A = this chain, B = another copy of it.
Amino acid sequence: MDFDLNESQSLLQDSIRKTLTAKYGFENRKAYMASETGWSREMWAQYAELGLLGLPFAEEDGGFGGGPEETMLVAEQMGRHITLEPWFSTVVLGGGFLRHGADTALRQEMVEGVAAGETLLAFAQTERQSRYDLFDVQTTAKKDGAGWVITGRKGMVLHGDTADHFFVTARVSGASRDKGGIGVFVVPATADGVSVRGFRTVDGQRAAEVDFTGARATHVLGDAEGGLPLVDRVVDEAIAVLAAEAIGAMDVVHAMTLDYMKTRQQFGRAIGSFQALQHKAADMLVAIEQSRSMAYFATMAAQGSDAAERRRNMHAVKAQIGRSQRLVGQQSIQLHGGIAMTMEYAAGHYFKRLTVNEAMFGDTDHHLRALADAGGLVQAA
């Protein structure tokens, strides 16, 4: 066991840290959010330059061959600055489909553009009735000549308003909640029959509702009726990334809270000298350290080859970190008091991101129940 970074990992971490510290202060972020796209094209180019966008892809595909640990490092820094760019949707989700589901031709077609920051990707998954169930798919894919046409409405497509290509789950056969009969299809945003309505999310990101009306897919990833294991795998990796982002965000908002407690005076003393508040800050630290442990575990477990065990582990990750981030988010507001309730102060934005992060790909209750239904982590005697 070794939790230390090797040299190249340290260099990677330093380079992101320096860039984001210099260019992703709170005021920068506000400006990026107010821009037309709602995020910074300039930062996106920077990420490409730093190699972040091609990082997890194999070198032969035009990437840098980074592993899950490297992705974790990037995610943590993204979380520290609650960045707005479509890194998660493009590199983690879209990239996940490319790495695990695409054939050589498709990888060759797309990875280079992704790595260069020219191609943006999004995962079109959620439907009105599906909530957090990845297999609850009513959008249909119908064979049409050599290809497929997609019809259905996908909601809450993260960064769907700027994506060039959608990875869309659609049902080829079976009933709404069957685990078989689901395929993952690639549909360009420019295809006929694609209409996109973009909006802002409560944590300042962009998302879209996307209608597919007989839209023609350019590719299907693997077995058109057996795509769910691929979706599960990509989402499990994404959960590990969300975990690392949450750690970054929690660390920052906790530090911000401690700083405030040391300076804010009430009753002639720094509020950080009040024991009841100290204990709350200590409980936040306990939650954060437990979550940090869990984020390491997530990075390891998301690579597991036994899909059932991997899912159980990721349920545990999401549930444990979910509880922690709710506590840390709420307490950071409470310990600050009114100031953190204002848009002009950073803490509230971290709280909002932590809130959305908690629910993404299933909230704490969802994963706790799923893990309980799957028998938990400890084998019975």
Binding site for B on A (CB under 8 A): 274-276, 278-279
Contact = CB atoms under 8 A, between A and B. Distances in A.
Contacts of A276: 275-276, 278-279
A62 B276 CA distance: 57
Question: Secondary structure at chain A's binding surface: helix, strand, loop or mixed?
Answer: helix
Nearest to A278: B276
Instruction: Say how many copies of this protein the assembly contains.
Output: 2
Contacts of A279: 276
A268 to B, nearest CB: 15
A284 to B, nearest CB: 14
A276 B279 CA distance: 7
A137 to B, nearest CB: 30
A331 to B, nearest CB: 14
Contacts of A278: 276
Contacts of A274: 275
A278 B279 CA distance: 12
A279 B276 CA distance: 7
A189 to B, nearest CB: 40
A279 B283 CA distance: 15
Nearest to A273: B275
Nearest to A274: B275
The 5 closest A-B CB pairs, nearest first, are A275-B275, A275-B276, A276-B279, A276-B276, A274-B275
A275 B275 CA distance: 6
6 contacts: A274-B275, A275-B275, A275-B276, A276-B276, A276-B278, A276-B279
A274 B276 CA distance: 8
A277 to B, nearest CB: 8
Nearest to A282: B276
A279 B277 CA distance: 10
Nearest to A280: B276
